[in-house]
Structure 1
Amino acid sequence: MIIDQNFYGNSVPYKLSELIKKVQTLFPDLYHSNSILKDISIESCATIQKANKQDLVFIENPKYIKYLKNIKVGCIVIDPKHSTFVNNKNSFLICKMPRRIFAFCLSLISPGNHLPASESKISRNATIKKGVILGKNVSIGKGVIIGENTVIGNGVIIDESSEIGSNCTINYSHIGKNSLIYPGARIGTTGFGFNFDDKGVYKFPHRGRVIIKNNVEVGANTTIDRGSLGDTVIDDNVMIDNLVHIAHNVCIGKGTIICGQSGIAGSTVIGENVILGAQVGIAGHLKIKSGVILSARSGVTKDINKAELMGGFPAVPIMQYRKQKATINRITKQYNKKKK
């Protein structure tokens, strides 16, 4: 993964052997063993799906083990309980709590303490209203309107003819053309990425961005978290209502509509032209096929691989959901009669 230097500064490469030595020293209770195929320079960190030959990756969720067969990366951090999957195609760092070790390595390779030096580029045709705070190295395109008291963080890019409402905060983001961000939106916030170790809670470093493409609407007081590894992506012509939460690394396909108070957990991928009714909840690391419609207050707990109308919790095809409701109502009525 290429960590955006515009937001996070230059990465600090480490020899693999040096990185492993630091882990051995600082986490002796977690370290198990290692297998170095080649002592290369680790230059970045990535998800296992998008890594290249000099990236560090980790596997904690068993659903990602399938990628081990065909990838070629710098090194894989993996739990001892999955050590049977270790092969001679890659280097491995075998330790307990792979996410904790990976988070430590990521903080070394990308400290994230960048202070932009270059000048901002603000179009003469942009409208910057009263109370706006602009960070360094921002790019504001032709015809952009930024409402009162909005804060635009360092390095943010807003393309031409987009409008940002009042009292928004936008960080670590690139917003495309002709997009409309309603008042109070929070874009580019750190995701809710944390875990536990023997010292308590630790935060997982976030080194991704939010990419909002063209002709997108983001409703009032909606929050879109930036990616932890990789980006959170909102594709063209997506319509997002008020009070929606989109977590880190979510990808939303073209033409999708998301109604108010819905929440999408991290790393879920939603296809094109999907419709989410009000107060829909979608768990993390799922895939929703293009064309799916989720009725209001649906709860999605597994992948949806067929384009159809779904409802209920857990979400099922709508006719099945209606039959379930009818059956429950009938049983309840029978129970109440017997009780009397």
Structure 2
Amino acid sequence: MQIDREAIADFALKTIVAIGLVSLALLVWKLRDAVLLVFAAVITAVILRAFARALQRVVPMGDGIALSLATVIIAVVVIGAVGLFGQEVSTQISALANMLPGAWDTLVDTVGAERLDQLVDRFMPEGATIASIAQSVISVVVSAASGLALAVLGGIYLALSPDTYRRGALRLLPASAQRRATRAIDQTGDSLRAWLIGQILLMLLVGVVTGVGLSVIGVPSAFALGLIAGLLEFVPLIGPIAAAIPGVLIALTMGIETAALSAGFYLVVQQSEGNILEPLVMRKSVSIPPAITLFAIFLFGALFGPLGVLLGGPLTVAAFVMVRVLWLNDDLSGGRQAKASDPAADGAA
């Protein structure tokens, strides 16, 4: 019997690749917290580089100066916003926290305890309670706050010299794979930058509109509720729904009519955001079907926990682009040539 050496070699190669992918998946699972931290640093670097490029379009300057100036401006804006509105936000959030238990009791009295328990059991994960969900939210906030400093510091280092880390990552790959990997990295960076800029604009718009609208309706702590709506807008699909819950509960303490107006207002804002604002703001970003986004967020939540949900949006964008470029060999750059497309040059760098 003649042995087909090429078939055996091909089978062996596929087996090695499969083992490598499984090993990589297990490594990512074991180091998931570190992986998320690195990804958060990449997001920070993308934002800083985008802002630095915008400054360079206005005033010609070197990359290092532009990046330093961008970092200082962002820090000054954040510190200034905290100084101007921090006390008011803190007061309204404290008032909001004090009102939520009473709002929940009002909802129980209005709907009925038995009917509400059935509704909660239907939509909540098995074994979950309101207290456990609140505890999960608090743990997300604490984890995000503790990792924010590391992500920002790591993002600054990445933004200072992105090509160094990019070339280093490419050199780990065989020469035959470097060209496509270069294209995947470049197009993922472009898509993430466009998505993040658009998402920041949507967060500002939704936060301001929600705060002003609830204030007009007469809902207490409207500024804090607008801030919550703006921040949760970062989580696609799930965030806006979660942001509406405390607003409607607080409005319920003012009466059924106020709660109905608030619920209708949240619905109008969400529909306007999804059907008008998002297509306009995100027209330069990668277009991902809503069903894929929803299931991807649940998947990242199952894999990485609450922080996976928090970073589900950019993770979905990165995974979507990587699959299309690496697996389907699509070109999302509109015909533009990827930077440093010569793998030999990357390998020699």
TM range (shorter): under 0.3
TM-score, normalising length: structure 1 = 0.26
Could you say which structure has the higher strand fraction? 1
Could you tell me the TM-score, scaled by structure 2's length?
A: 0.25
Greater fraction helix: 2
Greater RCO, CA 8 A, separation 6+: 2
